[in-house]
């Protein structure tokens, strides 16, 4: 039984490794002593942590505010739609861990934070699971259109019409890679993938 479907939109070069646990960026291995590589990644998951502060401060954190970056981050993440619909404001105070917000609102703010800080690799681990499907589609499309960013999505939503937009799909079965390749390649050459699509449909 497949445990998850990993979808990869490739912007940063990478390559596989014969050693389990190796991570390579542009072909070079990342070793534990190089802590600076942590700054390459931004992650948004199902459970997001928000501070007891304003919406804007939760997005910008301790960095000096950049108006242009903030506008772009809010637009891409859907936070600007929340503001337009008056569901929240940038100066609104968020209670500890976002108790006064819905799950979808929290994920949009977490996405805006990840986008604002312009990390070259963005990992979504069911990062839009609480957002309604129409908004999630629009956000994912905008993320896929971003330049100079590697988007790595981990999801069980295999019926998204955007699956074919990813450069590579990594199909996992019982925690192991069953097949990797474009959507067309995986669909044509993996019977397990086709069966999974049919069962989930």
Average confidence score pLDDT of the chain:
83
Instruction: In whole angstroms, give the CA distance from residue 141 to residue 162.
Output: 7
State pLDDT tens for residues 55-99: 999 999 977 778 889 999 999 999 999 999 888 899 999 998 889
3-state helix, strand, coil in the chain (%, to 5): 40, 20, 40
Instruction: In whole angstroms, give the CA distance from residue 8 to residue 152.
Output: 5
Task: Name the one residue in this structure whose structure tokens are 């449909």.
Answer: 201
Domains and CATH numbers, the chain: 4-200 (3.40.50.300)
% of residues, the chain, pLDDT over 70: 83
Which residues are CB-neighbours of 166 under 8 A, at least 6 positions away?
A: 7, 8, 9, 144, 151, 153, 183
Q: What pLDDT shows up at residue 17?
A: 44
Beta strand 121-125 with 150-155: parallel, antiparallel or unpaired? parallel
% of residues, the chain, pLDDT over 90: 44
Q: What pLDDT shows up at residue 36?
A: 67
Backbone angles phi, psi at 82, to 5 degrees: -65, -40
Q: What pLDDT shows up at residue 33?
A: 52
For the segment 90-119, the average pLDDT, to the nearest whole number, is 94
Nearest C-alpha neighbor of 124 from the set 105, 140, 135, 141:
140
Structure token digits, residue 176: 């192991």
State pLDDT tens for residues 23-49: 666 677 766 555 667 778 899 998 889
Q: What pLDDT shows up at residue 11?
A: 46
């Amino acid at each position: 039984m497949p445990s998850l479907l990993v979808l990869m939109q490739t912007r940063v070069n990478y390559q596989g490794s014969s050693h389990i646990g190796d991570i390579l960026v542009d072909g070079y291995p990342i070793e534990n002593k190089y802590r600076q590589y942590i700054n390459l990644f931004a992650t948004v998951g199902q459970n997001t942590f928000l501070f007891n502060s304003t919406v804007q401060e939760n997005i910008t954190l301790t960095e000096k505010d950049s108006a242009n970056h903030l506008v772009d981050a809010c637009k891409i993440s859907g936070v600007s739609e929340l503001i337009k619909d008056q569901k929240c404001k940038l100066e609104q105070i968020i209670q500890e861990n976002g108790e006064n917000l819905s799950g979808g609102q929290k994920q949009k703010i977490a996405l805006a934070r990840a986008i604002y800080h312009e990390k070259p690799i963005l990992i979504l681990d069911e990062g839009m699971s609480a957002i309604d499907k129409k908004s999630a589609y629009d956000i994912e499309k905008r993320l896929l259109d971003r330049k100079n960013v590697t988007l790595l999505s981990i999801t069980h939503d295999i019926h998204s019409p955007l699956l074919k937009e990813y450069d590579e799909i990594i199909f996992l079965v019982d925690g192991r890679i069953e097949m990797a390749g474009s959507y067309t390649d995986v669909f044509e050459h993996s019977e397990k993938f086709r069966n999974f699509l049919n069962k989930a449909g």
